[in-house]
Structures are given as C-alpha cells and as structure tokens.
Chain A
Amino acid sequence: MSRRVALVGASAIPIGRHQTADDESLQVLENEIMTRLVSEAVQDAGVSKEDIQSLVFTLPRPYTRQKYFHTFLVGQLRLACRGSVMEVMGNGMTAALAFDKACDEILLGRAEVALALGINMESAVSAAEHMMSSMRTTGDVDFHTSAGFTPIAWYAMDAMRYMHETGATREQLGAVAVKNRHHASLNPLAQYRKPITLEEVLAQRPIVEPLGLYDVPPRGDGAACLVLASEDVAKSLGRPYVLVRGRGFHHDGSHQINDVPNDMIAFDAAARASRAAYAHAGITPADLDLAELYAPCTIVEVLVTEALGLIPRGHGAHAAAEGETRLGGRIPVSTSGGLTSRGHPAYVTSLYNYVELAGQLRGRAGERQVKGARLGISTGELGNYNAALVHVLEAIA
C-alpha cells in the first residue's frame, strides 16, 4: 500500500485590507501574522513542532519587504528540518502548488508532517499600479501586453464567447456573484459579507465588458497555514481528518492563447486534470458533495463547473441561476464565497480553498455546512485555465 496524505490542520486570517501604506507609523508585519498562524494550525492538527520536517511557502508579493521570507520564518520558528524548505510560484496556481509539493514531501517519505503556507499582501498598492505588474503575467509581454491586455480581460472574452455560443445571459452570470455573496455572508474569513441582489450586480460599473465590478475578484490580503501528515500520523491523532484521495494536473502547452484555434471555453486542462483526479480517487463527478474552485470571475466558475463534469456543457450559467450550485442545491460550489466575495489574495487563494474543504469535510463549517459532506474537489489554475491542478479530498471521521 503506497503512502497517502491527510490534511489535519488549518488556520487563516480573514481576507481583507491588512497591508499598511509605507507612510503609516505602525506597520503590519508579515512574519508576525505568519508565526501566529503556524502556531494555531499546528495546535488545530494536534501534532508537535518536532514532527514537522518540510515547509512549502507560496512566494510573497514583491511588495513584501522581507526577502527570502520562507527561511526567515523558519528562523522565527526555530524549526530545524531535514525535508525541504522552499517557496513555490506558479501564477494563480501558486498556492495549489504549495499544497501539492507539501503532499509530495510526505509521499516521498521526506517528512511525516509538512506545512503548506503563505501570505499575500498587496492592498496598499493601487489597482492601476498593481496592474502594471499583472499585465505582464498573461500572454506575451511584447505581442499582447503592448495592446493593453490585462489578466481578467481574457476571462471577459470567455464570457463574450460563452454568451455567443450558448445564449447565456448577463443575468445568469450575475447570479453566480449573488450566490457566492450569500455563501460569504456565512463565512467569517470572507472579505465581503453583505448580501447583494442581482439588480445591484447588474448596476455596477463595467470593468471588462461584459463583466462588472461584482463579476470580478476584489483585491485583498490574506495568509493561511495548512498542516499535512502521512495517513499513519493522521490516524494516530484521534480526530477527524481529510484524506487526499486524488490528484490530477494538466498543462495544455499554451500560454493564454493558442495560435492553432481551439475551443477556448472548454477549459480542456481542467477537464483533463479532473478526469485524472477522479480516476486516481476511483470516483465520478456525481460522487462529489461540494466544489471549491479557483474561479476569479463569475464566468470562470460557470466554465469550470462544466469542465469538471459537474454541469453539462453549455448549461453552467443556467444551472447557477437555477440554484443548483447554491448551498442546499444539487452540487454546492464555492461555499466559502468564492474569489468574488470570500476574496482573492492571489498567491494564497487556493490555500483558502483547502481551508474551506478542511472545514466542510471535518463538519466545522457552521451555518454553511454541507450536510454529510464526504467528497470535495478543489482546483488551481494559471492563465486562461491553460493549466489546472485538481485535488479530490475525502472526509475521514
């Protein structure tokens, strides 16, 4: 029997505006937040400091003054390790990769307990200034950025194409934002919790047509720590845990756009990665109880639910508007509130998705608990879902 990995502990700060401007007299320091989270997550897991042999951090934003944050923090924690200590980077996939590489440390036998953790601070930097950096992340910096493309512009083009092909409406996409805000209203970690109506979503100023302010992710700061352990260690702890049942990855071999025309809204990488994860877990999409997706915009959630086989192709927007993906619906999606309302501190966003699944699959999600939740799925991605990393998690009581 090969080794398996369990998620045994989690902690996170509420997503919001934590970063201080340079001229403020009292500064918020990343290391002070992070050491507290490590302490809380390890306590939640019931493991001891000496058990931890690997730490996989998400790369901090360039605005974080302390460089080499990972090894600096290991120093703050006085944590001698024999596995690995590193920062990982994979654009929007960064936090999903941190989780995945921490799993690998355990699968390879380098550690019995590993941490996946990180902090993303950016809210004190204006959106226009931040976009000067983010515009260089999607597409070709010479051939695309010169035309003014921004990361979410590509998702907006997905929305235009989807509406053209399926007849889906602006209102149906907006229903995703309303649904996720409702979920966020029940989540203490969420950035925006005041319920909104469809009329309010449609009345927002356009950001990238046809998407308005509430269809796109807010910017925010966040930090989280996950404790992963070998299945043997997890069993020894004597409390509920979450087993990593399946994993799948696919990169479609293109960066943002393929010069050989393809179906850009099929999100083929997500389809392939999820099929690999289902096969690994020995399940079908119908077995899932909830999905916690990396979906920066309303349209992305619609397209990913289709690519994962949760909703038939072309029906995602309609299904969302009909409440199929709402708490209490057929397959609850983004019970945390998703990237549009729970928040999107980009490099740690997927950590929050695992935090949500850790809560749901250990029966600790409070008012937003999916009753009897046993199997959940998470996704991470980069580009226009040119690559996807998918994990299937299972509740073990």
Chain B
Amino acid sequence: MTLLSLVPASGRRAYPPRLSAFTQPFWAGLAQGRWQTTCCDACGRQTFPPRPICPHCWSDQVRWSPLSSRGNLYSWTRIHAAPAVFAPEAPYAVGIVDLDTGIRLACRLLDSADTTWKPGMAVEMAVLLYEDGPLFAARPLPIPSE
C-alpha cells in the first residue's frame, strides 16, 4: 500500500469529481492518503484514472493496486485565465507527472512563490485535503521547508 502525505487545503473543491460505485473507493481511499488505481488481472497492466474495463484488453477482471508516490515532471503550466469557479485560485499551476512505475497523469501542482518548476524534475504525489474531500497533486522533491 502506498500512503501519501495529507496537505490541508482551505475551502471546498471548486469543481469536485463525481463519485460512482466504482470510483468511490479511489476517492475515499485518497482522503485517507491511499494512492491506488486499477490493475488488470488478464493483461497485468495498470491504468490511470482507474477504470472498470481495462482499456488495453477490455477485460473486467480488474483490482485495486498501489501506485508509486514518486516520479518526474514531464511538463507544467501556470493558469492565469481560469474558468469562473477556479478564478479565486488563479494563478495556479498544473502539470503532467510520470510516476516511477510507468503511469503518466495530470494534476494540480502545489505551487509557491519560491518553487521553480522545470520539466524532468523529481516530484512527489500528495493529497490536498479540502473541507469537502480530496484531490491528488504533486510537489517538488525534496519537499520545500514549510
């Protein structure tokens, strides 16, 4: 099992994800720091986001499996022109992360004035814990001092 650090975030999520009977364990686990996705028993491949049917071989024999907490930043941007619900948070940084286990994902970046983002840099996944639930995000390694 992979456990991520929980980082408190103020307020509620601007555009919360929907839960389904299938994705509910992902988001409920994430709120506890659990970092996992589906892995197909038929072809052995992990998928992210988690899916009930393996996109590679279309088997429904999938199970929850741990993801790597570390990876490298493939690319990033800082969004200044934001949709109405995200405007209060702008500017904010987002990026694409390649996890050490070979999964690529896109997420929010934990940005700060003294953070310099650069493609290729090492990052660690963390959980942003809002009042209404979690989002996954990445932050630089080594972790900047608080």
A150 touches B81 (CB 8 A): yes
- A 111-143 binary contact with B (CB < 8 Å = 1; else 0): 000000000000000011101101100011111
Residues of chain B lying within 8 A (CB to CB) of residue A262: 104
Given contacts A149-B106, A158-B75, A259-B104, contact A142 B18 (CB under 8 A): yes
Per-position binary interface string of chain B over residues 101-121, scored 1 when its CB falls under 8 Å from any chain A CB and 0 otherwise:
011111110000000001110
B57 CB–A CB distance under 8 Å: no
- Comparing A92-100, A205-213, A333-341, the segment that makes contact with chain B is A205-213
Per-position contact with A for B37-80: 1 when CB-CB < 8 Å, else 0? 00000000011110000000000000000000000001111111
Interface of B is mostly: mixed
Question: Quick one: closest A residue to B117, CB to CB?
Answer: A160
Which residue on chain B has the smallest CB distance to residue A163?
B119
Contacts of B106 in A (CB 8 A): 139, 144, 147, 149, 256-257
- A284 contacts B by Cβ under 8 Å: no
Minimum distance in angstroms from A303 CB to a CB of chain B: 13
Query: A197 interface residue, CB < 8 Å from B?
Result: no
Would A259 and B83 count as touching, CB distance under 8 A?
no
Q: Which of A136-172 contact B (CB under 8 A)?
A: 139-150, 153, 156-161, 164-165
What distance in Å separates the Cβ of B34 from its nearest Cβ neighbour in chain A? Answer: 16
Residues of chain B contacted by A165 (CB below 8 angstroms): 119
Question: Are A209 and B15 in contact, CB atoms less than 8 angstroms apart?
Answer: no
Bound-complex Cα distance A149 to B95 (A): 9
**Which residues of the partner chain B approach A141 to less than 8 Å between Cβ atoms?**
18
In the assembled complex, B98 has its CB within 8 A of some CB on chain A? yes
B49 touches A128 (CB 8 A): no
Partner of B77, one of A143, A208, A258: A208
Q: Which interface residue of A158, A160, A206, A209 has the most chain B CB atoms within 10 A? A: A160
Q: How far is the CB of B24 from chain A (nearest CB, A)?
A: 12
Given known contacts A142-B18, A160-B76, A257-B106, A150 and B118 CB-to-CB distance under 8 angstroms: no
Contacts of A159 in B (CB 8 A): 77
Contact A156 B77 (CB under 8 A): yes
Is A260 located at the chain interface by the 8 A CB criterion? yes
Tell me if A129 and B84 are in contact (CB < 8 A).
yes
Cβ of B8 within 8 Å of any chain A Cβ, yes or no, is no
CB distance A132 to B23 under 8 Å?
no
In chain A, what residue has the closest Cβ to B119?
A: A164
| Contact partner, A164, options B77, B120, B135, Cβ 8 Å | B120
How distant is A212 from chain B, measured CB to nearest CB, in Å? 9
B29 contacts A by Cβ under 8 Å? no
Assembly CA distance A256 to B137 (angstroms) = 18
Asked if A161 contacts B103 (CB within 8 A), the reply is no
Chain B 82-99 residues near chain A, CB threshold 8 A: 82-87, 89, 91-92, 94-96, 98
Pair B74/A147 contact, Cβ less than 8 Å:
no
Task: Let me know if B47 and A259 touch, CB within 8 A.
Answer: yes
Chain B CB within 8 A of A266 CB: no
Among the interface residues B49, B83, B104, which one has the most CB atoms of the partner chain A within 10 A?
A: B83
Pick from B13, B23, B81, B104: contact of A258, CB below 8 A: B104
With A148-B14, A148-B89, A264-B75 in contact, is A208–B107 under 8 Å at CB?
no
Query: A144's closest neighbor in chain B, by CB?
Result: B106
Q: Is the CB of B118 within 8 A of A147?
A: no
Best-buried of A140, A153, A158 by chain B (most CB within 10 Å): A153
Give B93's nearest chain A residue, CB to CB.
A209
Complex Cα gap A208–B95 (Å): 12
Given A153-B79, A160-B77, A260-B104; A128-B84 close (CB under 8 Å) = yes
CB distance from A106 to the nearest CB of B (A): 36
Report yes or no: B75 in contact with A164, Cβ–Cβ below 8 A. yes
* Contact indicator per residue, chain B 1-39, by CB within 8 Å of chain A (1) or not (0): 000000000000111111000010000000000000000
Nearest 9 A-B pairs (CB), nearest first? Answer: A156-B77, A131-B83, A142-B17, A157-B75, A161-B75, A164-B119, A143-B49, A147-B108, A209-B78
5 contacts between A and B (CB under 8 A): A132-B83, A143-B17, A210-B77, A259-B47, A259-B105
